[in-house]
A = this chain, B = another copy of it.
Amino acid sequence: MFEFRLEATAGAARAGELRLPRGTIQTPAFMPVGTHGTVRGLHPDEVDRTGAQIILGNTYHLHLRPGEEVIRQMGGLHRFTTWSKPILTDSGGFQVFSLEGLRTIEEEGVEFASHIDGSLRTITPESAIEIQCALGADIAMAFDHVVPGQASFALAEEGMERTLRWLERCRNRHHDLSDDKQTLWPILQGGTFPDLRLRSLEGTLAQNTWTGVAIGGLSVGEAKETMHGVLDQIVPQIPATLPRYLMGVGFPDDLIEGIARGVDLFDCVAATRNGRHGSAWTHSGKVNVRNATNRTSDAPLDPKCDCETCTRFSLAYLRHLFVVEEMLGLRLVSIHNVRFLVRLGELARNAILDGTFDRWREDWLRHYHHRGEV
């Protein structure tokens, strides 16, 4: 269990297979985000039909509502939500880090004010693991200290070193609590500084034989080129046997650039968040569904897409649903966006497997950026 099998490479890009208790994931793969135990606006069957092989649950949100004890009592997150494929839970580190001004980071853990009712709460490395054990995902994440993309060397070093110390506490607690149906992945930190990132990797690998490794603290305000530079430096140093998960990334071009640099897994809320605002990714750039030009358009949102929305509904109908504020519109565009990213993983994988990745990547990006936002 938790084995990763590398099937093919194309430069740094990889095609692989990750075996998890509830299913095998073909990589590279995009993981839709199910913040509150549901991918926002979608039914689990709809998520399944996008081809998603694994979804992400948010420890911070589920801890606050309904609380991990409710979910444990209901048989765990899979049973509670009726999603039977693999789930990865984040640790809450990124969410509490995002509560700028409302949280205090200390060595013991992070105290923060709940965004629901302002009540003071604490998450420690140990409690982050306890919550995730109650949730019962296939993959749990270590509790990390995230710093902003513009963080100084000193702050990035502090966050990185604390993340390493917290990792040891997470691992100990996970060792005590978890059964063999959940694995724990560490998170690399170190801001935008390659030296710190390398030290983070070395310190992480020294602690344990992991089944996967995540790269955190990117796409948090730094330039895209900076993110690419960090990936160029750090990913080749991660043992090839480990699946690599780039947290909180991304947009379609981020996925392709990440895959090209050896990343295997991605997650991002943009697919559903943009979907709720009527903003869709298509093979020829972004489309705003509300545009008046779509008023009587009989065309699908993206003629090259095979999703449930594009193969059935017209742009005119989607636009109408957004204009009259019918929930179905948010849902249909979210389905499209999730399918778009899931399929990008599938297309990249196929291109890696048949040796055409570089050309595919170049063609895809050129076509995508050709039109820009309409």
Contact = CB atoms under 8 A, between A and B. Distances in A.
A326 B38 contact: yes
4 A-B pairs with least C-beta separation:
A36-B324, A66-B320, A41-B327, A38-B328
A105 interface: no
Contact of A328 (B42, B312, B319): B42
A277 interface: no
Interface of A: 36-38, 40-43, 61, 65-66, 70, 73-75, 80-82, 295-296, 298, 312-314, 316-317, 319-321, 323-324, 326-328, 330-331
B295 A70 contact: yes
Contact of A82 (B66, B81, B296, B312): B312
A323 B66 contact: yes
A331 to B, nearest CB: 7
Contacts of A316: 66, 70, 74, 80
A317 B37 contact: yes
A320 to B, nearest CB: 5
Nearest to A316: B74
Q: Is the interface of A mostly helix, strand, loop or mixed?
A: loop
Contact of A36 (B80, B296, B320, B330): B320
B313 A82 contact: yes
B74 A37 contact: no
Contacts of A36: 320-321, 324, 326
A63 to B, nearest CB: 12
Interface centre among A65, A316, A317 (most CB of B within 10 A): A317
A332 to B, nearest CB: 8
Contacts of A73: 296
Given A73-B296, A82-B313, A296-B73, A43 B331 contact: yes
18 contacts: A36-B326, A37-B317, A38-B321, A38-B328, A41-B327, A42-B328, A43-B328, A43-B331, A66-B323, A70-B296, A70-B316, A73-B296, A74-B298, A74-B316, A74-B317, A82-B312, A82-B313, A327-B327
Nearest to A329: B38
Given A38-B326, A70-B296, A74-B298, 17 more contacts: A36-B320, A36-B321, A37-B317, A40-B326, A40-B327, A42-B328, A61-B324, A65-B323, A66-B320, A70-B295, A74-B314, A74-B316, A74-B317, A80-B314, A80-B316, A80-B320, A327-B330
Contacts of A61: 324
A192 to B, nearest CB: 34
A331 B323 contact: no
A319 B321 CA distance: 27
Contact of A37 (B37, B41, B75, B320): B320
Contacts of A319: 66
Contacts of A80: 314, 316-317, 320
Nearest to A325: B36
